[in-house]
A and B are shown apart, each in its own frame.
Chain A
Amino acid sequence: MFQLIEIQHDALVEVFNVGVGRAAAALSSMVNEEIILSVPDVYFLSIQDATTALNGGREAPKVCGVSQRFAGAFNTNVTLMFPEDKSLELVRLMVGESIPLEQLTEMEHEALSEIGNILLNSCMGTMADILNSEMHGSLPEYQVGTPEEILGISGNNISDLVLILRINFILEKLKLQGYVAFVMDAAAMEDICRHINDYLASFAHND
Chain B
Amino acid sequence: MTEVKTILVVDDSKVSRMMIRAFILDKHPDWIIEDAATGEIALEKIRTIIPDLISVDVNMPGMGGLAAAEQLRAECPQAYISLLTANIQESTRRKAQELNVGFLEKPITKQRIEQMISILENN
Q: In the complex, are there CB atoms of A and B closer than 8 Å?
A: yes
Interface size class of A (residues with CB under 8 A): 20 to 34
B90 / chain A contacts, CB cutoff of 8 Å:
28-29, 32
CB distance from A127 to the nearest CB of B (A): 10
With beta carbons under 8 angstroms apart, the residue of A22, A29, A40, A204 that contacts B18 is A204
- A21-B15 in contact given A126-B107, A130-B107, A206-B25 (Cβ < 8 Å): no
Interface string of B57-71 (1 = CB under 8 A from A): 001010000000000
Question: Which of A10, A129, A200 gathers most chain B CB within 10 Å?
Answer: A10
With beta carbons under 8 angstroms apart, the residue of A11, A34, A126 that contacts B91 is A34
- A40, B88: Cα distance in complex, Å: 19
A25 on the B face (CB < 8 A): yes
CB distance from B16 to the nearest CB of A (A): 6
In the complex, the answer to whether A21 meets B22 with C-beta atoms within 8 Å is no
CB distance from A135 to the nearest CB of B (A): 17
B85 / chain A contacts, CB cutoff of 8 Å:
21
A120 / chain B contacts, CB cutoff of 8 Å:
none
A203 on the B face (CB < 8 A): yes
- A11, B108: Cα distance in complex, Å: 12
In the complex, the answer to whether B86 meets A203 with C-beta atoms within 8 Å is no
A19 on the B face (CB < 8 A): yes
In the complex, the answer to whether B89 meets A200 with C-beta atoms within 8 Å is no
In the complex, the answer to whether B86 meets A18 with C-beta atoms within 8 Å is yes
Q: Which of A162-181 contact B (CB under 8 A)?
A: none
A13 / chain B contacts, CB cutoff of 8 Å:
13
Interface size class of B (residues with CB under 8 A): 20 to 34
In the complex, the answer to whether A29 meets B89 with C-beta atoms within 8 Å is yes
CB distance from A40 to the nearest CB of B (A): 8
- A38, B86: Cα distance in complex, Å: 10
Please list the 9 inter-chain residue pairs (A to B) with the smallest Cβ-Cβ separation, ordered nearest first.
Answer: A21-B86, A21-B87, A18-B86, A14-B13, A203-B22, A28-B89, A206-B22, A34-B91, A11-B15
* 24 A-B residue pairings within 8 Å (CB atoms): A7-B14, A11-B15, A14-B13, A14-B15, A17-B13, A18-B107, A20-B86, A21-B59, A21-B85, A21-B87, A22-B86, A24-B86, A24-B87, A25-B88, A28-B87, A28-B89, A28-B91, A29-B90, A40-B61, A203-B18, A203-B23, A204-B18, A206-B21, A206-B25
B13 / chain A contacts, CB cutoff of 8 Å:
10, 13-14, 17
